Amino acid sequence: MKKLELVDYKAFRFNKLMTREYKHVNYLFFWILYGFLFQGVEHWSWINENYYPVYCAFDDLIPFCEYFVVPYIYWFVYLIGFLVFTFFYDVESFTRSMRFITVTYLLAIVAYVLFPNGQDLRPVAFERNNIFSQIVAGLYRNDTNTNVCPSIHVIGSFAVMLPAWHSKYFKTWLWRIVFGVLAVLISISTVFLKQHSIIDVLAAVPVCVLGYVVAYFDVFRSKFGAKKQYQQESI
C-alpha cells in the first residue's frame, strides 16, 4: 500500500464548506437526509400493507444458509470503514464514492415509493439453532421485509469496490481481488439469508452502472475527448 497521507482538517471551518479544499465535507449531510427518507419508507404503513412481493423461481433453488450473516453484517464495516478511511486519507475516492452513493441511494428510495415492494422468502423456522441463526433471527426482527428492490446492500458494496479499484492506495491486483471478493460475498449473502430475491440483486446492477458513470463522468469524458482528438489528428 502507498504511504498514507493524512488530510489536514486543522484549518477547517464551516464557512469553508464551499471551498475546493473542503467541499467534499458536504457529502456527510447526505446521510442525515437519507436517514430520514429511508426511515420514512420503512415505516410507511401503506407500503408495508400493499407491497408487491418480489420473487422468481430461481429463489427456490437457493437454500437458506445462516452462515452468510457474517458477510451480510460485515457490509457495515466494509462501507463505513472505506468512507472513514478515504475521508481522512483519500478525498478523491471519498468524493467519487459519495457521488455514487448519493445518486444510487436516492434512486432506490424513488423506486421504493413508486413501486412498493418486499419479499416473503424468509423461513418460518430455522433448521439449525446456533449463534448464526440467532443473529439472523434478530436481524429479521429489526429489519422489515419491505423496500428490497433494488438491493441497497448490493449497491453499497459496489459503491466501495469500484472507487477502491481506482484509489491510489488500493490499485494493486491483490487489493482489487480482496475488494471484489468481499463485494461478491456481501451481494450473494442477501439471497442466502432470504433477505432479497435474485431479482433485487440483478435490479441493483443497472443502478450501479449509472452510479459509476456519474461518479467518474469527468474521467470518461476526458478519455473520450483524448481518444477523439487522437483519431482526428490521425486522419
- Find the mean pLDDT for residues 86-102: 97
Q: Supply the pLDDT for residue 222.
A: 72
Q: Which three cell numbers stand for residue 22?
A: 473542503
Of the candidates 153, 159, 160, 156, the one whose C-alpha atom is nearest the C-alpha of residue 175 is 160
- Find the mean pLDDT for residues 13-35: 95
Does this model's pTM top 0.75? My answer is: yes
Q: Supply the pLDDT for residue 230.
A: 45
- pLDDT beyond 90 at 218: no
Q: Residue for cell digits 490521425? A: 234
Angle between helices 152-166 and 69-89 (to 10 degrees): 40
Cα–Cα distance, 153 to 160 (Å, whole number): 11
Q: Residue for cell digits 408495508? A: 48
Instruction: List phi, psi (to 5°) of 141.
Output: -70, -30
E strand spans, the chain: 52-53, 117-118
Q: Supply the pLDDT for residue 228.
A: 53
pLDDT band at 219 (very low <50, low <70, confident <90, very high): confident
